[in-house]
Amino acid sequence: MKLISVCKGKIHRATVTSCDVNYEGSITVDQDLLDAAGIVDGELVHVWNISNGERLETYAIPAERGSGIVCLNGAAALRCGVGDKIIIAAFCLTDEPVRRKVVLVDDNNRITKIVS
């Protein structure tokens, strides 16, 4: 069996609402956005900063539903600023087709469209 890494879900152009360098680590994201993208609590995610080109890996933790929160924590907080636009992507290893979910959001991190 041959496994390939495939993008399974992405939150596109989310706005960073806060950064907390003193938190242990991770990215905190509105649970509604995580659900829409198929990203689960603790899952490895890639964060690509559209505003400055920084790229990092961390894990996702849920924020309150409907809050619009996208908060970079720990060392990741030093690579983003409030107001930066980011992409949050999750991948999976599989030998089967994957229907990717792309979640498009507005400036307040409200879902405007889900493409799959």
30-76 pLDDT tens trace? 999 999 999 999 999 999 999 999 999 999 999 999 999 999 999 99
Q: Is there a contact between 16 and 101 (Cβ–Cβ < 8 Å)?
A: no
Q: What digits encode the pLDDT tens for the residues 77-104?
A: 999 999 999 999 999 999 999 999 999 9
Return the active site residues.
26, 59
Mind spelling out the 3-state secondary structure of 25-64? CEEEEEHHHHHHHCCCCCCEEEEEECCCCCEEEEEEEEEC
The whole-model pTM stands at 0.95
Chain CA centroid to CA 3, Å: 23
Domains in the chain with CATH codes: 4-94 (2.40.40.20)
